[in-house]
Amino acid sequence: MNRHGTQIAKCGLAALSVFSMGLLAPVQHVQAQVQSIYNTALPSVIRVAIRPFNNPFAPILYVQTIGFEEYCEDVLPNEWVPSWNQQALEAGAVAIKMFAWYYTLHPTTENGWTYDVDNTVNYQKFVYLSGTPATDAAVRNTWNVVYTPNNGEILPLEYRSGWPGSANWTFVGSNVMSQWGSEYWGSVANLTYPQILNLYYPVYTLKFI
C-alpha cells in the first residue's frame, strides 16, 4: 500500500469517505463578476494623491478625499479648454467621469499612501476649486449619463490632446478621444456630445443611470 493509502487506513472509513469525495468533486472555477453600472454605484467620493506643482514625478504630499462630482468639475477645465464648444465640453465631462469611476475601483498604494488617482497627467490633471461656469454646467448636464460597452462594464474612456484646428482623423474609431478633435467636431461639424463620443468609442453605448 502506498503512503497515501496507509494514512487512509489509519484514519478509518469516515476519513476514507471524505477523502474520496474530495478526489471526485469537480474543480469549480469562480469567474470574477464584471464591475458594471448595473451592480456598482457611482462613487460619492474619490481619493486624490496630491503631488506638488502637479508634477507627475514628484512624491506624494498627502491624499485628499473629495466629492466625486466636485472632482470632475475640478478636472474638466484643466483637460478641456473652458471656452470650447459646449458639446465638446460635455463629451469631455463624460470621458473624465468614466475614467475616474474606473480608477476608484482600482486603487493604488505607493509609499504607504492609498489613492484612486493623483492630481497630475499620470491620471487627469486636477486643480482644486478650478471649476468654471461652462465646465461645471457640462458636468451637471451629463451627470446621469454614462458611456460603456453593451454589458455596462465600467471602463476608462482614454483621451489624448491631438492637434489644434484639425478633425484628428487618426483618433476616430480608436477608443481614444482627441481633446482638440472634440472641439473641432463640436464647433465646426456641429455634432452633439453623444455623436462626438460615438466617433471615438464606436462599440460603446450611451446609457442613463
Is 102 within 8 Å of 87 (Cβ atoms)? no
- Please report the pLDDT score of residue 31 as a whole number: 59
Mean pLDDT for 116-135 is: 98
Query: What is the distance between the alpha carbons of residues 121 and 125, in angstroms, rounded to a whole number?
Result: 5
Is the predicted pLDDT of residue 94 greater than 70, yes or no?
yes
pTM here is 0.84
**Which among 162, 145, 161 is positioned nearest to 198, based on CA atoms?**
145
Instruction: Supply the Cα-derived Rg of the chain in whole angstroms.
Output: 24
Is the predicted pLDDT of residue 127 greater than 60, yes or no?
yes
- Please report the pLDDT score of residue 13 as a whole number: 33
Per-residue pLDDT of 5-35, as tens digits, reads 333 333 333 333 333 334 444 555 555 789 9
- Please report the pLDDT score of residue 33 as a whole number: 85
- Please report the pLDDT score of residue 26 as a whole number: 52
Mean pLDDT for 160-188 is: 97
Mean pLDDT for 113-122 is: 98
